[in-house]
Amino acid sequence: MAKYSKEFKLNIVKEYLEGPFGSTSLAKKYGVPNHEQIRRWVNAYKVFGEEGLKRKRSKTVYPVQFKLDVLNFMKQTGASYQDTATAFKMNQPTLITSWNIEFQKHGVEGLEEKSKGRVTMSAGRKSKRTNQGKKMSREDLLAHENEMLRLENAYLKKLKAFQENPNAFLEKHKQRWRSNSKKKDSN
């Protein structure tokens, strides 16, 4: 998404309000990909003045109850996303759109703030190992051990073949690799 300066937005909004051009022709003239963006800037300017055209430096986190109130207001009044955003002094009607989509897909849980970043692996791995050891039945443990022994046996066979004749082993695997890559290319 392209970022535009406050001055650029202000010039387009003033030209829209003062001149004969509509949002579509102004979008073409200034190279804005979507004319709806210009309409959002005009609405933000009408409601908030020049402050509505500023880029926010920090993300506003809205509580779940506020999101529910906004969606409830929109449903009961039949207001558009833009009118709802104006009523709640918000400058982003697209944010309300995403809230509505998440609410329809996941319910209230979809409106909760999601944690960012990666999950730490160290704590998850340790607990997973201990849980598996406790929950596995004797049959599962034996099947797991059997699979590990099969893998070890296959590894040792390949190691022995490589030690006995490295060139033949590598040629065999090169041929297999080439035949697999030809299959992929033909698709």
Q: Is 117 a domain residue?
A: no
Tell whether 47 and 64 lie within a shared domain: no
CA dist list (Å): 27 to 34, 112, 178: 7, 36, 52
Q: Is 5 a domain residue?
A: yes
Give the number of C-alpha atoms closer than 13 A to the C-alpha of residue 67, restricted to the C-beta side: 22
Tell whether 43 and 69 lie within a shared domain: no
**Domain carrying residue 144:** 140-186
Higher pLDDT, 67 or 167: 67
Range with the lowest mean pLDDT among 83-97, 123-137, 143-157, 163-177? 123-137
Inter-residue contact 6 to 32 (CB < 8 Å):
no
Tell whether 2 and 16 lie within a shared domain: yes
Higher pLDDT, 132 or 64: 64
When pLDDT is averaged across residues 89-104 and rounded to a whole number, the result is 88
Tell whether 6 and 51 lie within a shared domain: yes
Look at the chain and report how many structural domains it folds into.
Answer: 3
* pLDDT at 126 (0 to 100): 55
Who contacts 1 (Cβ-Cβ below 8 Å, separation ≥6)? Answer: none
Inter-residue contact 13 to 45 (CB < 8 Å):
yes
Tell whether 66 and 41 lie within a shared domain: no
Q: Is 74 a domain residue?
A: yes
pLDDT at 168 over 80: no
* pLDDT at 1 (0 to 100): 45
* Structure confidence by residue, pLDDT tens digits, 12-64: 888 888 888 888 888 888 888 888 888 888 888 888 888 777 777 777 788 88
pLDDT at 97 over 90: yes
Who contacts 30 (Cβ-Cβ below 8 Å, separation ≥6)? Answer: 8, 12
* pLDDT at 98 (0 to 100): 92
Under the banding of pLDDT at 50, 70 and 90, the label for residue 186 is low
Tell whether 2 and 46 lie within a shared domain: yes
* pLDDT at 151 (0 to 100): 87
Give residue for tokens 């698709």. 187
Q: Structure pTM? A: 0.49
Residue that is last in its domain, among 55, 75, 93: 55
* pLDDT at 156 (0 to 100): 87
